[in-house]
Amino acid sequence: MIIVTGGAGFIGANLVKGLNKRGLNNILVVDDLSDGDKIKNIESCDIQDYMDRSEFLRRIEQGIEFGGPTAIYHQGACSDTMETDGRFIMEVNYEYSKSLYHYCGANSIPFIYASSASVYGGGEVFKEEPEYEQALNAYAYSKLLFDRYVRRNSSVSDAQVVGLRYFNVYGDGEQHKGRMASVAYHFFNQYQENGKVKLFAGTDGYANGEQLRDFVYIDDVVNVNLHFLEHPEDGGIFNVGTGRAQSFNDVATAVLNTLEGKQLTTADWVAKGKIEYIEFPTALKGKYQSYTQADLSKLTMMGDYNSTFASVEEGVSAYVQKRVERMGGQLPKNV
């Protein structure tokens, strides 16, 4: 059995589907379905069972067996970077992760968990080393502290332990995330509603829409997760991004080009009035990463991962295509 916490969430549900594609269906999905809309993410998945997060944690803390799981993918967390309740964040993200980590260690179960690129804060070097890490908010601190806990307590487990620092993930199945969904998701919705997309104006020395992030497509994130399942000899904390920093303008342009079947530039779309810049939110000042770019040297060397990652143009186009098809529509041919 493979256990996937957060298995009805964005990355978790896609991971379950990736396991299914490899012929694996002996899967226990763990989640909190207080938000019933997440059921849409797993209704087509082939799983053995579902368990509520609280019940799962109770059994973990009591040491109850789950039939000898071959691995636990820990994707469950509060992913709201704007959440200000530090006690809640630390309970859900930190203490819960510690319980799973010790359970896996006691039972020699491979443990592959979701970390985050938010642990690099406002820095400009994105290597998996302590000197480059800082937290700009409670969410980032919960992720950073757990990474530190794993490093300090490596003797807890003799089985595989892998932490994956996700950069800006986008793709199918994020509709329940609300404001925390990707900009690609929001740009698509804005276009459907108003015929244009809105980006933040310049900040931190960056021009309008030119803040840079490492945007990584969900299919690539799933492939990295499955790589480590298939290579239990590899362990450690690894970045998961494309290794390329692209602008929010690039994302908006990819969305518009795909939806309208064009090959235009950002400047073209601005001139057409279909890209609009809005004032940078005061609430995000000092808590915002204007630049991220994953250093993938550790993943490709120690993790021995050699697959390529989709660019924004490739990944966003595929994502938009899926959303249009789900809505029963058809994209125009490129003109």
Strand pairing category for 2-5 and 71-74: parallel
- C-beta separation of 222 from 18 below 8 A: yes
Q: Rounded to an integer, what distance in angstroms lies between the CA atom of residue 228 and that of residue 205?
A: 38
Strand pairing category for 27-31 and 49-52: parallel
- Class of residue 291 by CB neighbours under 10 A (exposed 0-12, middle 13-18, buried 19+): middle
Q: Report residue 52: phi and psi, to 5°.
A: -65, 145
Calculate the CA 272 to chain-centre distance: 33
DSSP 8-class letter at 156? G
Q: Tell which phi-psi region holds residue 121, choosing left (phi > 0), alpha (psi between -120 and 50) or beta.
A: left
Q: Rounded to an integer, what distance in angstroms lies between the CA atom of residue 99 and that of residue 92?
A: 11
Q: How far is CA 173 from CA 16, 91, 192, 219, 324, in A?
A: 12, 25, 18, 11, 13
Calculate the CA 98 to chain-centre distance: 20
> Hey, which residues are catalytic here?
139, 177
Q: Rounded to an integer, what distance in angstroms lies between the CA atom of residue 27 and that of residue 1?
A: 5
The CA-CA-CA angle for residues 3, 138, 287, to 5°, reads 125
Q: Closest by alpha carbon to 166, among 109, 111, 128, 204?
A: 128
For tokens 């993943």, the residue is 299
For tokens 């362990």, the residue is 235
